[in-house]
A and B are shown apart, each in its own frame.
Chain A
Amino acid sequence: MVQEEIVRIFQILFFPGFLFLVLAAFFYEWVDRKFVARLQNRLGPLHTGPMGLLQPFADFLKLLSKEDIVPGAADRLFFSAVPIFMLSLPLTALFCIPIISSVALVSFEGDLIFVIFVTTLFVISVFIGAWSSTNRFSTVGGMRACLQMLGYAVPMTVAMIGPAIVAKTLSISRIVQWQTTGLWFVLTQPLGFAIVAICFLAELQKIPFDIPKAETELVAGWLTEFGGKKLALLKLAEDLNFVLAGSIMASLYLGGASGFWFAPPFVWFIIKLTVCTLILSNLRALFARFRIDQLMRGVWKYLTPLALLQIILVELIPW
Chain B
Amino acid sequence: MIERICGICSHAHTTCYTQAVEEALKVDLPPRAKYIRTVVAELERIHNHYFWLGILAHEIGFDTLFMYTWRDREIVMNLLELISGNRVQYAMNIIGGVRRDIMPSLSSEIMKGVKILAERMTYYKKVCLDEKTILARCVNVGVLKAKDAISLCAVGPTLRASNVRRDVRADDPYAAYDEIPFHVVTYDGCDVASRIATRCDEVLESVKIIRYALEHLPTGSIEVIVSRVVPSAETIARVEAPRGENIHYLRSNGTDKPARYKVRAPTLANLPALCRMLIGGYVADIPVVIAGIDPCFCCMDRLAFADTNTDKTWSWEGERLRKYGVKWYKKK
Contact = CB atoms under 8 A, between A and B. Distances in A.
A285 interface: yes
Given A210-B61, A217-B283, A286-B64, 12 more contacts: A207-B61, A207-B62, A211-B284, A216-B58, A216-B61, A216-B287, A287-B62, A288-B57, A288-B61, A288-B133, A290-B136, A291-B284
A285 B64 contact: yes
A294 interface: yes
Contacts of A211: 284
A140 interface: yes
19 contacts: A40-B63, A40-B64, A41-B71, A207-B62, A210-B61, A214-B284, A216-B59, A216-B61, A285-B63, A285-B64, A287-B61, A288-B61, A288-B131, A288-B137, A289-B60, A289-B137, A291-B136, A292-B284, A294-B136
Given A217-B284, A293-B282, A294-B136, A288 B62 contact: yes
B64 A208 contact: no
Interface footprint category on B: 20 to 34
Interface in B48-82: 57-65, 67-68, 71
Contacts of A207: 61-63
B285 interface: yes
A39 interface: yes
Interface residues of A, number: 22
Interface string A236-274: 000000000000000000000000000000000000000
B134 interface: yes
Contact of B286 (A39, A210, A217, A289): A217
A42 interface: yes
A214 B59 CA distance: 9
Contacts, number: 60
Contacts of B59: 216
Interface in A102-139: none
A42 B68 CA distance: 10
B61 A214 contact: yes
A17 B13 CA distance: 63
Interface in A192-246: 207-208, 210-211, 214, 216-217
A151 B136 CA distance: 18
Interface string B256-296: 00000000000000000000000000111111000000000
Contacts of B285: 291
Which 8 A-B pairs give the minimum distances between C-beta atoms? A289-B61, A288-B62, A40-B67, A288-B133, A288-B60, A287-B133, A216-B287, A291-B284
Nearest to A209: B61
A292 B137 CA distance: 11
Q: Is the interface of B mostly helix, strand, loop or mixed?
A: helix
A41 B67 CA distance: 8
A21 B137 CA distance: 38
Contacts of B58: 216
Interface of A: 39-42, 140, 207-208, 210-211, 214, 216-217, 285-294
A210 B63 CA distance: 12
B71 A290 contact: no
A41 B68 contact: yes
Contact of A217 (B131, B134, B287): B287
Contacts of B134: 288
Contacts of A292: 284
A302 to B, nearest CB: 12
Contacts of B137: 288-291
B125 to A, nearest CB: 15
Nearest to A287: B133
Given A217-B283, A217-B286, A289 B67 contact: no
A140 B283 contact: yes
Contacts of A289: 60-62, 133, 137
A43 to B, nearest CB: 11
Contacts of B283: 140, 217
A99 B131 CA distance: 38
Contacts of B136: 288, 290-291, 294
Contacts of B282: 291, 293
- Indicate the member of A40, A42, A216 with the most B CB atoms within 10 Å: A216
Given A214-B284, A294-B136, A39 B60 contact: no
Contacts of A217: 283-284, 286-287
A208 B133 contact: yes
Contacts of B284: 211, 214, 217, 291-292
Nearest to A293: B282
A292 B61 CA distance: 13
- Indicate the member of B63, B134, B284, B285 with the most A CB atoms within 10 Å: B284
B141 to A, nearest CB: 9
A288 B61 CA distance: 5
Nearest to A285: B64
A214 B136 CA distance: 16
A234 B283 CA distance: 26
A230 to B, nearest CB: 25
Nearest to A215: B61
B205 to A, nearest CB: 26
Nearest to A291: B284
A98 to B, nearest CB: 35
Contacts of A287: 61-62, 131, 133
Interface string B226-256: 0000000000000000000000000000000
Nearest to A292: B284
Given A140-B283, A217-B284, A291-B282, A208 B71 contact: no
Contacts of B68: 40-41
Contacts of A293: 282
Nearest to A297: B136
Contacts of A208: 61, 133
